[in-house]
Structure 1
Amino acid sequence: MRAPIGTFDDARPAADRLDLLPAPVAAAVRDLDDPDSPERFLHVDTEPEIADTAVFVERHGLELLEQSANCVVVAAKRGGVTTLAACVVLSGARVDVNGAVRRQLGARKVSFAAMETATGETGMEHGGITPVGLPADWPLLVDSAVVDTPWVLIGSGRRRGKLIVPGKAFAALPGAIVLAGLGADPA
């Protein structure tokens, strides 16, 4: 199957690749992916060594830089209570943690979650965290630019492989809140 973006040798419906996905991502794909839709979630099998965005787009197409998104886990603190949330922005942007995220979560302080916390709470690997399959009670902040992108390349929950998802599907994920300006230009 030919992927709608990038140059991949092996793109298949993600529902056919559940064995390559961590349990929470596989469960979400089973629940969310519509086998009758032409806009199915796709999985592209790739080497873990090239999972980082810069190396990945060099190998599979520079246009992917504008069609890739990153998912980061943040810890929001207020009054001694810590809330975990996830943020999704296009790869060329950075998450506006101290502005948009802090305001949306009503937090006094927001920081990127420790790697052990992010991987332990999601059941996913560092460098592969995806919004598909996150804990349902987490806020999921999605930059509107991601939703407006026809097809988006994002982690698969593992460093091996990526998902290609219709941008509009991010707005339908559990806990999703679409925000304009969540992703700021890198300074």
Structure 2
Amino acid sequence: MTIGTLDWREAAGRPDLLAEPVARAVEDLGAAAGVRVAEIDPALADTAAFCERYGVRPDESANCVIVAAKRAGEIRYAACVVLATARADVNGAVRRHLGARKISFAPQDDAVTLTGMEYGGITPLGLPEEWPVLVDEAVAAHPGVVVGSGVRRSKLALAGAVLAGLGSAEVLPLAN
């Protein structure tokens, strides 16, 4: 897989470039999933800077955001994955799908603590099993998309079908 100017390697062979829960998820997926990893400058982990520096088009990059859905005093977390060219319709499609009365982006400290990943590197791989992973249709159909690795110093590249095939994944029209 060639995306941008990065030196992509088999992710299972570089667990040092992955957050611990991501390394376990990559191992569970196996080599057939084709998950690749590339080391980057952690100061350039944010999407716009990353894409510009490493020649990755925004439509090849996906963002994963953690939301907190509230209903009847209960908080339920979920991940939303959309291409960098779009925004997740959190207050519409996501809120309705989760049956939440109120929804918001999870506070940074909560997202980091609950995922075991670094802020700015949170990825759908390795999230708590009970969390729904809502994958936008465009991401699911993508032949090769870049996502976080759980840490800011690297990125993963994989087929959107791998994300859509995660045990807790649901493919929906999320982008607005």
Normalising by structure 1, what TM-score?
A: 0.91
Aligned-residue offset at 1:11: 1.4
Aligned-residue offset at 1:69: 0.2
Q: Is the 8 A contact 2:2 2:8 kept in 1?
A: no
1:153-182: CA deviation from partner (whole Å, max 9, x where unpaired):
0000000100001111111112101002x0
1:59 correspondence with 2:53: yes
Structure 2 stretches of 5 or more lacking a match? none
Structure 1 stretches of 5 or more lacking a match? none
Runs of 4+ in 1 over 4 A off after TM superposition: none
Q: Determine helix, strand or coil for the equivalent of 1:116.
A: helix
Q: Determine helix, strand or coil for the equivalent of 1:117.
A: helix
Aligned-residue offset at 1:5: 1.3
Give the Cα–Cα distance (whole angstroms) in 2 for the partners of residues 73 and 58 of structure 1: 24
Within 5 Å, give how 1:21-100 maps onto structure 2: 21-33=18-30, 35=31, 37=32, 40-62=34-56, 64-100=57-93
Q: Is the 8 A contact 2:17 2:37 kept in 1?
A: no
Give the Cα–Cα distance (whole angstroms) in 1 for the partners of residues 160 and 19 of structure 2: 22
Equivalent residue for 1:117?
A: 110
Give the Cα–Cα distance (whole angstroms) in 1 for the partners of residues 9 and 42 of structure 2: 18
Equivalent residue for 2:137?
A: 144
Equivalent residue for 2:147?
A: 154
Give the Cα–Cα distance (whole angstroms) in 1 for the partners of residues 2 and 144 of structure 2: 7
Give the Cα–Cα distance (whole angstroms) in 1 for the partners of residues 51 and 68 of structure 2: 29
Give the Cα–Cα distance (whole angstroms) in 2 for the partners of residues 11 and 140 of structure 1: 25
Give the Cα–Cα distance (whole angstroms) in 1 for the partners of residues 87 and 111 of structure 2: 18
Aligned-residue offset at 1:45: 0.5
Q: Is the 8 A contact 2:66 2:80 kept in 1?
A: yes
Give the Cα–Cα distance (whole angstroms) in 2 for the partners of residues 20 and 89 of structure 1: 23
Aligned-residue offset at 1:4: 2.0
Normalising by structure 2, what TM-score?
A: 0.97
